């Protein structure tokens, strides 16, 4: 709901206690590991975390999220290349689509109202969660 509301505390990072900074960094570390291994909705969760802990505009938060997710996936790729089997036939078109989305996405974000983007992302996250719940427990 934080992602949709667009409302979050105004943070003065200079006045944050050290323990709180450690909690934020630890949360992002855990999400990096989660995103690198599993990935499902990792970007949305990182968006929510960054929305809560920063004062940046949504477009900046989204760019930071993309860098974090990109590094998490790069590290996972390097590890999986040497420890597991990669289905390159599926991975290559996925990578091409990610590059296209990474190029087109910022242009779209600059033109579409921020509130609409937040609602769209939150809606997709709920739909994905419902789909996973359905396939895991009801099918």
83 confidence band (pLDDT: 50, 70, 90): very high
1 confidence band (pLDDT: 50, 70, 90): very low
More confident residue, 1 or 63: 63
Chain segment 41-67, per-residue pLDDT in tens: 788 888 888 988 888 888 899 889 888
**C-alpha to C-alpha distance for 60 and 106, rounded to whole angstroms:** 10
| Count of domains forming the chain | 1
CA 106 to chain centre: 15
- Residues 16 and 52 sit within 8 Å (Cβ to Cβ): no
**C-alpha to C-alpha distance for 67 and 95, rounded to whole angstroms:** 15
**C-alpha to C-alpha distance for 110 and 103, rounded to whole angstroms:** 12
**Residue 5: what pLDDT?**
52
pTM for the predicted model, two decimal places: 0.68
Q: Which domain holds residue 6?
A: 2-138
């Amino acid at each position: 709901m934080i992602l949709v509301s667009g409302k979050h505390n105004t943070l003065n990072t200079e006045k944050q206690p050290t323990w709180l900074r450690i909690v934020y960094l630890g949360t992002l570390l855990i999400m990096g590991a989660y995103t690198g291994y599993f990935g499902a909705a990792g970007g949305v969760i990182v968006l929510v975390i960054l929305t809560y802990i920063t004062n940046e505009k949504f477009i900046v938060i989204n760019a930071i999220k993309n860098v974090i997710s990109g590094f998490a996936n790069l590290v996972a790729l390097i590890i999986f290349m040497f420890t597991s089997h990669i289905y390159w036939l599926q991975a290559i078109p996925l990578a091409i689509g990610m590059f296209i989305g990474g190029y087109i996405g910022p242009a779209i974000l600059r033109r579409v109202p921020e509130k609409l983007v937040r609602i769209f992302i939150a809606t997709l996250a709920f739909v994905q969660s419902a789909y996973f719940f359905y396939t895991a427990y009801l099918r």
